[in-house]
């Protein structure tokens, strides 16, 4: 029972992280029709900047602010100079250019910080365990779940209660119409991109104390994020949320329990051979099934 609870919590923690990454990316795609392969690089920059600031100042809170600000700035600069030239182009060009940016980002980071992983501590306050449903669970991971919930609520308020949120919703629904109605669409695009970048940077910093901060750390999470967006529905934040939870569940709890199940059915050596293989492929199988039956995703944006 306790293992089950722990695995569910683990799933939520991964889900929280994925939501941070996919919320921004799905908006950027929904409104600007722009596929950004360099989104993982923003995640990486957030982790690096945060780690360095935390080491210099000793304060995790300042590191959070620094990571978000740095990635937002980077996002704005990139968007205004290079990326907005690609909105009109087809996805192939966008894929290639952002892939080029990805390469440059990895090398730049390696040049500035070196090839070895960089170190950041979990804040002392969170360096323990909390008791949830009679189970000891790492406090920091729980904090990530909490942070995820805060961001979900914050985004909900932003999207449904503010003028900016209304513009974003309208843009996701019909970008041309919004522009025709006299809204400064360029400014809106920059804001949306910066928002996505900031969320990605936050995600990078939050996970940094748990994983190694190194060049190329953004790519694995990028691929998972793409799966979340496709499963959830492009342009839909609701889809990003549910997609993140589903992928989080499958990539954590389902993986473990499926392997346990396989070991019950098959002989140990066979189970150990095929278990990890199927585990790695589970989310892609999910994506294939979703796309086969509902190509627009599970919670698509309702287009006017």
Partner 1 sequence: MRIKATLAGLGLCALSVMTAQAQTTQPLKIGFLAEMAGIYGAPGQDQYDAFMLAVEERGGKLGDVPVQIFKEDTQFKPDVASQIVDRLMDREKVELFTGLTYTHIALAVYKKINDKGGFMIASNTGPAPIAGQGCVPNFFASTWQNDQLSEVVGKYAAEKGYKNVFALAPNYQAGRDFVAGFKDAYGKPLLDEVYTPVAQQDFSAELSMIQAASPDAVYVFYPGALGVNFVKQYHQAGLSTIPLLNTATTESINLPAQGEAAMGAVNGSFWGPDFDNDTSKHFVEAFEAKYKRIPSQYAAQSYDAALLIDSALRKVKGDLSDKDAFRAALKEADFKSLRGDFKFGNNHFPIQDFHIFEAYKDGKGRMNVRRIATPMVQAQDKFAAQCPMK
Partner 2 sequence: MAKLEIRELKTWIAGLVILLFAAVPIVSILTDQAFYMAQYSRIMIYALAAVALNLILGFGGMVSLGHALYIGIGAYGAGMLDFHGVTNGWLQLLAALGVGGLFATAIGAVVVRLKGMTFIMITLAFAQMGYFLAVTLRTYGGEDGRAISARSQMYLLDFSNPVVLYYAIFACLMATLWWVDRVITSRFGMAIRGSKSNERRMLALGFPTFRYKLAAYVISAQICVVAGFLLANLTLYASPSYMQWMVSAELIIMVILGGMFTVFGPVIGALVFLLLEEWLSNFHSASFPAFGELVNEHWLAVLGAFVIVVVLTARNGVYGYVGKRGRTP
Both tokens of 119, joined, read 């170190």
What is the smallest separation between the CB atom of 158 and partner 2, expressed in angstroms?
A: 25
* Token representation of residue 90: 């087809």
Task: State in angstroms the smallest separation of the CB of 235 from partner 2.
Answer: 10
Rounded CA separation 150/159 (Å): 14
Residue 183's contacts (CB-CB under 8 Å, 6 or more residues apart) are 167, 170
**Contact map string, positions 86 to 125, toward partner 1, x by CB under 8 A:** --------------------x---x----xxxxx-xx---
Half-sphere exposure of 9 (CA within 13 A, CB side): 22
> What is d(CA 272, CA 253) in angstroms, rounded to the nearest whole number?
17
- The whole-angstrom separation of Cα 57 and Cα 196 is 26
Which token pair is 150? Answer: 């805060």
Helix (H, G, I), strand (E, B) or coil at 66: helix
- Interface pattern 29-68 for partner 2 (x via CB under 8 A): x-----x---------------------------------
- Closest residue by Cα to residue 197 from 17, 40, 82, 29: 40
Stretch in the footprint of partner 2 (CB under 8 A) among 13-21, 60-68, 179-187, 227-235: 227-235
From the list partner 1, partner 2, none, partner contacted by residue 230 (C-beta under 5 to 8 A by kind): partner 2
- Is the CB of residue 100 less than 8 Å from the CB of residue 86? no
Quick check: 235 and 301 in contact, CB under 8 A? yes
The partner in contact with residue 181, picked from partner 2, partner 1, none with C-beta cut-offs of 5 to 8 angstroms by kind, is: none
Tell me which stretch binds partner 2 (CB under 8 A): 46-54, 97-105, 130-138, 195-203: 97-105
Of these partners, partner 1, partner 2, none, which one is at the site of residue 61 (CB under 5 to 8 Å by kind)? none
Give the whole-angstrom CA distance, residue 12 versus residue 95. Answer: 30
8 Å CB contact between 230 and 287: yes
Q: Could you say which of 85, 160, 162, 184 contacts partner 2 (CB under 8 A)? A: 85
Report how far residue 111's alpha carbon sits from residue 217's, in angstroms, rounded to the nearest whole number: 15
Our finding on whether 120 is near partner 2 (CB under 8 A) is no
Of positions 80, 157, 276, 294, contacts partner 1 by CB under 8 A: 276
Interacting residues with partner 1 (CB under 8 A): 2-3, 6-7, 10, 13-14, 106, 110, 115-119, 121-122, 127-129, 136, 138, 140-141, 207, 209-217, 220, 252-253, 255-256, 272, 275-277, 279-280
Q: Please give the residue ranges that form the binding site for partner 2 (CB under 8 A).
A: 29, 35, 82, 85, 91-93, 95-97, 99-104, 106-108, 110-111, 223, 226-227, 229-230, 234, 273-274, 276-277, 280-281, 284-285, 287-288, 291-292, 295
């Amino acid at each position: 029972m306790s293992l089950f609870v722990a695995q569910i919590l683990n799933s939520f923690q991964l889900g929280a992280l994925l939501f941070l990454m996919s919320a921004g990316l799905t908006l950027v795609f929904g409104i600007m029709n722009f596929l950004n392969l360099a989104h993982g690089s923003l995640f990486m920059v957030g982790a690096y900047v945060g780690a360095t600031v935390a080491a210099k100042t000793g304060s995790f809170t300042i590191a959070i602010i620094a990571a978000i600000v740095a990635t937002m700035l980077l996002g704005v600069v990139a968007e205004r100079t290079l990326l907005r030239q690609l909105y009109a182009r087809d996805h192939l060009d966008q894929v290639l250019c952002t892939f080029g940016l990805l390469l440059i980002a990895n090398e730049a980071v390696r040049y500035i910080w070196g090839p070895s992983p960089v170190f950041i501590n979990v804040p002392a306050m969170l360096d323990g365990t909390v008791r949830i449903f009679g189970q000891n669970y790492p406090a920091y991971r729980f904090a990530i779940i909490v942070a995820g919930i805060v961001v979900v609520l914050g985004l909900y308020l932003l999207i449904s209660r503010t003028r900016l949120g209304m513009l974003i919703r309208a843009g996701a629904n019909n970008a041309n119409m919004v522009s025709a109605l006299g809204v400064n669409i360029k400014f809106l695009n920059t804001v949306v991109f910066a928002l996505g970048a900031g969320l990605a940077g936050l995600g990078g910093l939050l996970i940094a104390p748990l994983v190694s901060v190194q060049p190329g750390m953004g790519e694995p999470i990028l691929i998972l994020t793409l799966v979340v967006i496709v499963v959830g529905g492009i342009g839909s934040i609701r889809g990003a949320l549910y997609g993140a939870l589903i992928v989080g569940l499958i990539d954590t709890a389902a993986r473990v329990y499926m392997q346990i199940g396989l070991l019950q059915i098959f002989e140990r050596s066979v189970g150990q051979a095929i278990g990890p293989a199927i585990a790695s492929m589970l989310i892609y199988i999910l994506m294939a099934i979703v796309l086969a039956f509902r190509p627009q995703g599970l919670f698509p944006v309702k287009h006017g």
